[in-house]
Amino acid sequence: MDPGSLNRRLVWAEVDLEAVAANTRRIARLVKPARLFAVVKADGYGLGAGPVARTALENGAVGLCVARPEEGLALRAEGIDAPILILGPTLPALAPEVVRARLTPTVCDPDLADALARAAGSGPVEVHVKVDTGLHRYGIAPAVAGPFIRCLSQYPQLRVEGLWTHLATADEADKSFAYRQLALFREVLADLPPVPLRHAANTAAALDLPELRLDLVRVGLGIYGYRPSKYVGWGVPLRPALTLKSRVVRVHEVGPGEGVGYGRTWVASRPTRVALVACGYGDGYARHLSNRGFVLIRGRRCPLVGRVSMDLLTADVTGLPEARVGDEAVLVGRQGDEEIRLEELAELAETIPYELLTRLTPRVVRVYRKG
């Protein structure tokens, strides 16, 4: 997008691809000799799967992970040729498209294996198998992993390239369950013929738990410059990739006893100057930040007052008399010497950074920058 056209935008997200590049390089160095696959599901965690994927692949990632086949197909349509692992379920009806696009599905049921073998013809199709070691989501039980993989070996068209599991508590202060999952996964591996790629580590484990890195790590949030929780990764410097910006569209006075926003959840106790900012939950900004969040205007942190609505939010700018209509407002990121971190907002909103990133809507134009 032409930077000049931003003067006509009310809300936009600036995505710093150099930050993505720097984070990818740092994590790739950290986890060696394990390989790094960048997780770009949910449209690159809301920041744009194509630009993020290309940047990660140019800076140390050797493959990509998506959640669904259509996400992998979209990356192939953009000309991305790297290995793409589908982490979630694939419907058997999609097997022909998955095979044609050279996507690597996770196989956890015989029906999908049969459909892939039929679609492959003479093959080969590389697949990964997920073992459920305690998350109790998608995956096969450890007790049936051996028989299931022996079943897959009956298909000459299929090659089991990888075996993996997913961690339930790697981002918690207590890592003991993550180690229990690793021990169970190793028990499964010990009873099977060797596979080229064994993997368990997400961002939290890749940053903090070297024993879980194995042959490959799957890193999503970390390449975007964020930590899954306050217990993770503080020894690894990361650069946030997102700055969410809007504009002040009105400044006015509110008298004592007057309320702001739906429900009058905030009532002025003194003469108050407020600024209306053109961003709301229709753009993906969390309504839970009503009366809790902040916005940066002219490098100053201004508290939100009243409820966040679909298209607008309101900030107290009494201490900022120079605030004017048209001022740039930063909702996530840095302005001057001040910064609002995504992790901080997640804690205020009683959620996780993943949700705040992925909820940005199409109404928020993404602007890509390098440096």
Q: Which residue has the tokens 């970390």?
A: 222
Global confidence as pTM: 0.95
**Burial of 325 per CB tally in 10 Å (0-12, 13-18, 19+):** exposed
Is residue 26 within 8 Å of residue 237, measured between CB atoms? yes
Spell out the CATH class of 242-369: mainly beta
- To the query of whether residue 41 is one of the catalytic residues in this protein, the response is yes
Q: Tokens for 186, please give them.
A: 């190793």
* Residues with Cβ within 8 Å of residue 144, at least 6 apart in sequence: none
What's the confidence (pLDDT) of residue 167? Answer: 98
Q: Tokens for 116, please give them.
A: 């892939």
Compute the distance between CA of residue 142 and CA of residue 340 in angstroms, rounded to an integer: 43
What is the H or E stretch that residue 144 is in? helix 142-152
| AA letter at 277 | V
What's the confidence (pLDDT) of residue 2? Answer: 54
Task: For residue range 244-271, list pLDDT tens digits in order.
Answer: 999 999 999 999 999 999 999 999 999 9
Higher pLDDT, 123 or 36: 36
44: left (phi over 0), alpha (psi -120 to 50) or beta: left
Compute the distance between CA of residue 318 and CA of residue 325 in angstroms, rounded to an integer: 15
What's the confidence (pLDDT) of residue 233? Answer: 83
Residues making up the chain, counted from first to last: 371
CATH number of 33-224: 3.20.20.10
pLDDT at 292 over 60: yes
What is the H or E stretch that residue 197 is in? strand 197-201
pLDDT at 221 over 60: yes
Rounded to the nearest 5 percent, the helix, strand and coil shares of the chain are 35, 25, 40
CA-to-CA separations, 176 to 3, 137, 151, 172, 216, in angstroms, rounded = 49, 20, 33, 9, 21
* Residues with Cβ within 8 Å of residue 334, at least 6 apart in sequence: 243, 296
Phi, psi of 294 (to 5 degrees): -140, 160
What's the confidence (pLDDT) of residue 5? Answer: 64
> Which member of 45, 155, 245, 262 is catalytic?
262
| AA letter at 126 | E
* Average pLDDT of every residue of the chain: 96
What's the confidence (pLDDT) of residue 18? Answer: 98
Compute the distance between CA of residue 222 and CA of residue 52 in angstroms, rounded to an integer: 12
Task: For residue range 52-110, list pLDDT tens digits in order.
Answer: 999 999 999 999 999 999 999 999 999 999 999 999 999 999 999 999 999 999 999 99
Q: Tokens for 9, please give them.
A: 């935008």
Q: Same CATH fold, 242-369 and 33-224?
A: no
Q: Which residue has the tokens 């007057």?
A: 258
Is residue 219 within 8 Å of residue 202, measured between CB atoms? yes
- To the query of whether residue 262 is one of the catalytic residues in this protein, the response is yes
Task: For residue range 299-347, list pLDDT tens digits in order.
Answer: 999 999 999 999 999 999 999 999 999 999 999 999 999 999 999 999 9
Nearest Cα to 254, choosing from 268, 243, 240? 268
Phi, psi of 48 (to 5 degrees): 110, 100
3-class state of residue 193 by DSSP: coil
> Which member of 41, 130, 175, 245 is catalytic?
41
Strands 338-340 and 328-335: antiparallel
Percent pLDDT > 70 in the chain is 98
Q: What are the residue ranges spanned by the domains of the chain?
A: 33-224, 242-369
